[in-house]
Structure 1
Amino acid sequence: MKKQWRLVSLVSLLALLLGGCGKAFQSTLIPQGEAAKMQYDLLILSTSIMVLVVLVVTAIFLYVIVRFRQRKGQENVIPKQVEGSHKLEVIWTVIPILLLLVLAVPTVTYTFKLADVSAANKKTLDEGTSVVDVTARLYWWEFAYKGEKIITSQDLVIPAGKKVYLNLKGADIKHSFWVPSLAGKMDTNPDNANQMWIQADKAGTYNGFCAELCGPSHALMQFKVRVLNESEYKDWVAAMQKQDGKSVAASVQDGQKVFQQSCAGCHAVDAKDARPAAARIAPNLANFGDRDMVAGIADNTEENVKKWLKDPESMKPGNLMTNKYGKLSDQQIDALAAYLESLKLGQ
């Protein structure tokens, strides 16, 4: 029994220590933007107040145990009774009120700041205002940039140091948008759109997740937030607006033909993708070759692309691509993988 308790204690201690570990691109405890910093400050403030209360109550508890313990020869001595003391009643009434006020003022202030998405709801967007329609699907993410009129999938690209407003919606069931280092999570519902904003202080790549249990590949429903410097972001937008996937090298034209025959009914390689939202049932692949990941979970290598094309179900169970197209030969898969990897900006 002792050994079991030692093991439980060791595992609990390790869980506590590991729970505080994280990296800047995916930890709520290392905020990388204004929204995340406000939420982190509230977390620290509320935790500090709770710890203070626990320490004070524990100290009083220990003092009372020691000071008023029963002593030999004093079994019949009754300590001074303080029941009905107005002074004590005022103290333990006023102190909690003050602590609640200390917590309530920044909480209410930050709540209104985080909920302010008025800039995204104007009929005509102000110059420089970035609004992205985020659609969660089984099990991938689509990002439609309203001002730039381009569409990406799996990678949300935003400029550093600037608020980006998000209109969040689920295309099938409820999901939840979460980029731990940039902002708290927000549900994506099929029936209504939720709104939030995120901001990243500096360029880099941050991990995003679905935070609502949504099916067998819920844990694999990941995406990236790529943050570029302002000039780099403008160059990226300009390049995406020109990307139509039509002009390709002669070496990958066979793969392009396979794509048009087997994949074009669901996927698009035109970044502007004028199809209505209901018709966009599969990820836009306009800049597939520039992405870090395949299916949002595996390194973007030719080997993983072929594995995904050959057996999507083995990589992401329950995905809607499984059995959507006829069986491809190894030669067709090789050609298609080469074509997909060629879909890069500027090429």
Structure 2
Amino acid sequence: MKRLANWRLLSLFAVLALVLSGCRGENFVSALRPAGEVADMQFDLMKLSTYVMVGVILVVMIIFVIIFFRFRRKDDKDETIPKQVEGSHKLEILWTSIPILLLLILAVPTVSATFNLADVSPMDKKNSKALVINVRSHLYWWDFEYPGQKLVTSQELVVPTNERVYFNLKSLDVKHSFWIPAAGGKLDTNTDNINKFWLEFDDKRSNEAGNLFYGKCAELCGPSHALMDFKVKAISRDKFDAWVTAMQDIKEPQKAQSDLAVQGQDIFNKSCIGCHAVTPENKLPDTARQAPNLTNFGDRSRIAGILKHDKEKLKQWISNPEPYKPGNLMTGKYDEMSPQELDALAEYLMGLKVQE
């Protein structure tokens, strides 16, 4: 019975391994479905190291099986001592050379890729035409500044495809980590220095993913660390330029389009404007940005990075955000709003759009 139970357990693990081997995730959030140059390089390194490890395991297992059957004692009375190979120079050279060779196979492409990925010289050149984005991480949201375009957005990063996009990363409270799984590996955002790197989004694979990717915080930063998401819109250069132009045309807060939205705008100006900006050119210093920029809030695909983008979810978030993101800084500020005020404020915010 004990042996039967062990076989059942082994079968269960085998089935689970088979099922989990197919868990590659969605296109927009899976590191196993690369969508750009950086992700391709890192995925190739991952495959190379996997092939080397599997090869080593197979060779060791084959040697083990051969030795087990060939050199096992066939008779309990047989006390013959097999030929000893201790001190064999040939074997010493062999099992010293093989690890060195495997190390070189892994090290050479890894070092080459590391130096390639660390090359951010184009963004530091004078009068550079490279697209540079300053990423600022907060508890628990993201701020994206386009210094060349004089724009600031939050929670949704917009980038052109088929070209390198350069990032300056910094945190304004605690250590976070900027990670877009489908585009490339993560890099920390620190409070005392700026990290730099670049990513590139492939146009074809971006289209296959619906031009939308997920970004996440990859450094444990507090109770809502797992909910510190942002969205990435990867679009063609023409569409990106059109988006930039539409954002730059907003010189003052957008006007409400209905009577209910007018009431909401009045509530926003009295209760929310002290923390949230509704113009894309945010001239405030980094330390003065207390909450996400809402200029294009109506164009977003998620509320707070995690909730469905509709008025009902927005009202739930405004009235009581704590259940959705524990520890966020907005909790307790709007819990006394009446249902009519929430309706008006939601109507105004959902109308903040820069592109139809």
Q: TM-score, normalised by structure 1?
A: 0.94
In structure 2, the partner of 1:308 is 317
- Match of 1:142, SS state, is strand
In structure 1, the partner of 2:16 is 14
**Aligned residue identity for 1:301:** D
Distance change in 2, residues 1:37/1:270 (3 Å): same
1:273 deviation in Å?
Answer: 1.4
In structure 2, the partner of 1:81 is 84
Instruction: Find the aligned partners of 2:136 and 2:5 in 1 and give their Cα distance.
Output: 50
Instruction: Find the aligned partners of 1:52 and 1:11 in 2 and give their Cα distance.
Output: 23
Distance change in 2, residues 1:100/1:222 (3 Å): same
In structure 2, the partner of 1:245 is 253
Distance change in 2, residues 1:86/1:71 (3 Å): same
Instruction: Find the aligned partners of 1:82 and 1:311 in 2 and give their Cα distance.
Output: 73
Distance change in 2, residues 1:270/1:11 (3 Å): farther
**Aligned residue identity for 1:192:** N
Q: 2:275 aligns with which of 248, 266, 275?
A: 266
Given that 2:320 and 2:335 are in contact with CA atoms closer than 8 Å, whether structure 1 keeps it comes out as: no
- Match of 1:132, SS state, is strand
Distance change in 2, residues 1:147/1:4 (3 Å): farther
Instruction: Find the aligned partners of 2:158 and 2:36 in 1 and give their Cα distance.
Output: 15
- Match of 2:72, SS state, is coil
Query: What whole-Å deviation, never above 9, does each CA across 1:165-203 have from its counterpart, x for those lacking one?
Result: 111111111111111110111111111111111111024
In structure 2, the partner of 1:217 is 224
Given that 1:33 and 1:198 are in contact with CA atoms closer than 8 Å, whether structure 2 keeps it comes out as: yes
Q: Does 1:191 find its partner at 2:207?
A: no
- Match of 1:208, SS state, is strand
In structure 2, the partner of 1:98 is 101
Q: 1:234 aligns with which of 241, 249, 273?
A: 241
Structure-to-structure mapping, 1:36-47, within 5 angstroms: 36-47=39-50
Q: Does 1:60 find its partner at 2:63?
A: yes
1:324 deviation in Å?
Answer: 3.2
**Aligned residue identity for 1:245:** P
Q: 2:289 aligns with which of 267, 273, 280?
A: 280
Given that 2:319 and 2:334 are in contact with CA atoms closer than 8 Å, whether structure 1 keeps it comes out as: no
**Aligned residue identity for 1:103:** L
Query: What whole-Å deviation, never above 9, does each CA across 1:122-172 have from its counterpart, x for those lacking one?
Result: 3x3422x11111111010000001111101100000001111111111111
Instruction: Find the aligned partners of 1:336 and 1:193 in 2 and give their Cα distance.
Output: 37
Gaps of 5+ in 2: none
**Aligned residue identity for 2:193:** N
- Match of 1:312, SS state, is coil
Q: TM-score, normalised by structure 2?
A: 0.92
1:215 deviation in Å?
Answer: 1.1
Query: What whole-Å deviation, never above 9, does each CA across 1:237-277 have from its counterpart, x for those lacking one?
Result: 10011223233324321111110000000001101111111
Instruction: Find the aligned partners of 1:8 and 1:72 in 2 and give their Cα distance.
Output: 32
1:119 deviation in Å?
Answer: 1.6
Distance change in 2, residues 1:175/1:73 (3 Å): closer
Instruction: Find the aligned partners of 2:10 and 2:315 in 1 and give their Cα distance.
Output: 44
Aligned alpha-carbon RMSD (Å): 2.0
Given that 1:263 and 1:325 are in contact with CA atoms closer than 8 Å, whether structure 2 keeps it comes out as: no
Instruction: Find the aligned partners of 2:218 and 2:191 in 1 and give their Cα distance.
Output: 16
**Identity across the alignment (%):** 52
Instruction: Find the aligned partners of 2:13 and 2:316 in 1 and give their Cα distance.
Output: 37
1:325 deviation in Å?
Answer: 4.8
Q: Quick check: 250-259 or 337-346, which moved more?
A: 250-259
Instruction: Find the aligned partners of 2:307 and 2:6 in 1 and give their Cα distance.
Output: 38
